[in-house]
Chain A
Amino acid sequence: MITRPRYAEESPFKIHGGCGLMGICDESGTLMSGEDAILAMAVQHDRGNGLGGGFAGYGIYPEFPDHFAFHMMYHDIQAKEESEALFDEYFLVDLAEPMPTRPVKGITGAPLLWRYFLTPYPNKLEESEMSAEDYVVEAVMTINSSVDGAFVASSGKNMGVFKGVGYPEEIGHYFRLEEYEGYTWTGHNRFPTNTPGWWGGAHPFALLDWTIVHNGEISSYGINSRYLEQFGYKCTLGTDTEVAAYLFDLLLRRHKLPLELACKALASPLWDEIDRMPASEQALMRSLRAVYGPGMLNGPFAIVLGLNGGMVALNDRIKLRPLVAARKGSVVMVASEESAIRAVIPDPDALWMPKAGEPTIARVKGMDWPIHGDLHLSPEDISCAVTGTEVSCDVVEVNA
């Protein structure tokens, strides 16, 4: 008798890591192939150990701009069949195909890699009384938590995550990223130290079009994951970074927090810093820390958040991981090392090290910016968002 392996038990613990990352975004919306992202990661080769590499690209599926693009990893045929049965039940599947790959030396043991372009069945969506995004999130959580050996690598519109076990430049070649064109790319090189590297555990971590690449260690993973469970998120991928992707979805999409405020919730100012702020800002920061305490990311991190509207890079509040940023014309680039930037942009207009806890933002012209307002709000303006009562609140309309 054949016993199916219990894949979910493969990685029950969080993984710490020292890693390398990059992000590049052309704010004019001009497309670039994945080669620059591969090059930036190849320069940071020694920040990883070959146990995880990955990329996210935005704007890569112009022929399916309004479909939810699901990139899937299956450990066996049964996982594929069970997942496809779920897709067929809840979504109109307009295209299902194997991910295009090429043989690359060093890449072995790949799971079955498939992609699907999906739209929710209108009647099912209506019955669910959910937004299309919540509908998709529920499908992702269901597959990740209950279909053994199936993992959703990404699930957003006109974007995708390409990741696996190997060095990032190998993974980039494997997935033929030079054949894709996007206006934003992020990349990651992994150095897992506590549990085995596995395909689903490579970065970026994604939900809808949010993707996260992360260098560091989220020490607060336990409290963060318990907090997220209250909102229906299921942390199943065995790596700390997963919580960051879900926290941004919760704070930015569902609670509609202004970006700067969401960053302050995740990388909170220290209490003595708050004491030195003007009174109104003090009240805001205290409320934020009180309400989002369990969402705060503790520990060292540098992360790049990708989204259809652009890219956001953020450090922990005391800068325990490296991050460098640069701009050349409409192109904004971030990386763990200056050399990664200079390999792609030899002569930037400006190059700097961002301040800890303060986001570096690139915003693509003409794209929706699903992030509401900025920090220059009165506490009253955003109190409804902060208290999490988004259902009864009007959307806060503020100029970003």
Chain B
Amino acid sequence: MSMGPGVVEGYRKVAPVVTRDGGSVTINAGGIYYRQMNEAIRAAVADGTTHIVLDNVNGQRYIGTGVSAKGVKIDVHGTAGNDLAMFMDGPTIEVFGSAQDGVGNTMNAGKVIIHGDAGDVLGYGMRGGSVYVHGDVGYRVGIHMKAYENLVPIMVCGGKARDFFGEYMAGGILVLLGMNTQFAEQPLVGSFVGAGMHGGVIYLRGQVESWQCGKEVGITEATEEDMAALKPLLADYCETQGTDLAEVLSVPFTKLAPFSHRPYGKMYAPM
């Protein structure tokens, strides 16, 4: 990203080089400003392209943001920037690398597969589709995930998570495996798990102390019925991430669910 001695330029606001091969389009995102890169993605989708490959991505924001299309696959090679798949409605994004903050923000439908780690506020307000992360995730993961009728967001994180996992969660399924982690000595999950939670369910592969959890959350061991419902989802995760399902299932899961759907219903209007 250098223009010559002493001049570091950063991203260039020019159209990226795009190469077409049948139904597939490859975009060289190296050093290209996010806006021009995303315009190229949208143009390819509008042309009916079903497979888009992004090479040399490093920090470009909003990949797949607001893209509404079924059957589109976007491969990201590099580090995906903030707000990957925000408001996304349909496509599948596979990241061969890590993702930064705000993945799947208010995502509606589709699938995000991240083969590295992901940052903070992953799945913020997510209301449909699925997010599968291979490794560790940051703070406030799954904050205010929600569900409506048949729209049930699913998130599976293969590593460990920090504080506020599933905070204010209102719906959906949030799973933490604690397997593919670089923090072997640290607990599976931080504090304030499910704080303010009033819908949906959290499954943790392993144990959690009650002080780690919000007071709105009931902690139980996952039943056979729970595991039967969870198993197809875990199998799908393992297939996309190359994780061994038997190993995933070799440790008992803990289930966290809210005591009430309206924990503060009487706070302002006492009955």
Contacts and interface: CB of A to CB of B under 8 A. Distances in A.
A and B bind = yes
Contacts of A178: 5-6
A319 B163 contact: yes
Interface stretch (B7-15, B16-24, B42-50, B103-111): B7-15
Contacts of B58: 43, 339, 342-343
Contacts of B5: 178
B38 interface: no
A317 to B, nearest CB: 9
A356 B139 contact: yes
Contact of A353 (B2, B6, B7, B136): B136
B82 interface: yes
Contacts, number: 89
Contacts of B100: 322, 337-339
Given A178-B5, A352-B182, A39 B120 contact: no
Given A46-B61, A343-B58, A356-B163, A38 B8 contact: yes
B138 A353 contact: yes
B264 to A, nearest CB: 21
Interface string A241-277: 0000000000000000000000000000000110010
B134 interface: no
B1 A343 contact: yes
A318 B139 CA distance: 8
A352 B61 CA distance: 20
Contact of A276 (B119, B162, B183, B211): B211
Given A169-B10, A337-B59, A340-B59, A319 B182 contact: no
A286 interface: no
Nearest to B183: A352
A397 B191 CA distance: 35
Contacts of A35: 2, 6, 8
A173 B7 contact: yes
Contacts of B6: 35, 173, 176, 178-179
B33 to A, nearest CB: 9
A337 B58 CA distance: 10
Nearest to A176: B6
Interface in A330-361: 337-340, 342-343, 350-353, 355-356
B11 A42 contact: yes
Contacts of A324: 119
Interface in B91-114: 98, 100-101
B162 A338 contact: no
In terms of DSSP, what is the predominant structure of the interface of chain B? loop
A17 interface: no
Contacts of B139: 318-319, 356
A59 interface: no
| Best-surrounded residue of B11, B81, B139, B186 (most CB of chain A within 10 A) | B139
B130 interface: no
Contacts of B61: 46
Contacts of A342: 58-59, 78-79
Contacts of B163: 318-319, 356
A35 B78 CA distance: 22
A45 interface: yes
Contacts of B10: 39, 42-43, 45, 169
B43 to A, nearest CB: 22
A172 interface: yes
| Best-surrounded residue of A44, A318, A339 (most CB of chain B within 10 A) | A339
A1 to B, nearest CB: 45
B10 to A, nearest CB: 3
Contacts of B82: 337
Contacts of B9: 42, 169
Contacts of B11: 42-43, 45
A353 B164 CA distance: 15
Contact of A42 (B1, B120, B164, B183): B1
A35 B5 CA distance: 10
B217 to A, nearest CB: 16
Contacts of A38: 8
B141 to A, nearest CB: 12
| Best-surrounded residue of B79, B117, B164 (most CB of chain A within 10 A) | B79
A169 B8 contact: yes
A178 B9 CA distance: 13
Contacts of B78: 342
Contacts of A319: 120, 138-139, 162-163
A351 B79 CA distance: 12
B81 A337 contact: yes
Contact of A338 (B2, B59, B182, B183): B59
Nearest to B102: A322
B184 to A, nearest CB: 12
Contacts of B98: 338, 351
B59 A39 contact: no
B8 A39 contact: yes
A356 B6 CA distance: 36
A322 B211 contact: no
A173 to B, nearest CB: 6
Contacts of B79: 338-339, 342
Interface in B39-74: 58-59, 61
12 contacts: A43-B58, A45-B11, A173-B6, A273-B191, A318-B163, A318-B164, A319-B120, A338-B59, A338-B100, A339-B81, A353-B119, A353-B136
Closest 8 CB pairs of A and B: A339-B59, A42-B10, A178-B6, A38-B8, A319-B139, A339-B58, A39-B8, A339-B79
Given A276-B211, A352-B136, 18 more contacts: A35-B6, A35-B8, A39-B1, A42-B1, A43-B11, A43-B58, A169-B10, A173-B7, A273-B191, A324-B119, A337-B81, A337-B101, A338-B59, A339-B79, A342-B58, A351-B98, A353-B138, A356-B139
Interface of B: 1-2, 5-11, 34, 58-59, 61, 78-79, 81-82, 98, 100-101, 117, 119-120, 136, 138-139, 162-164, 182-183, 186, 191, 211
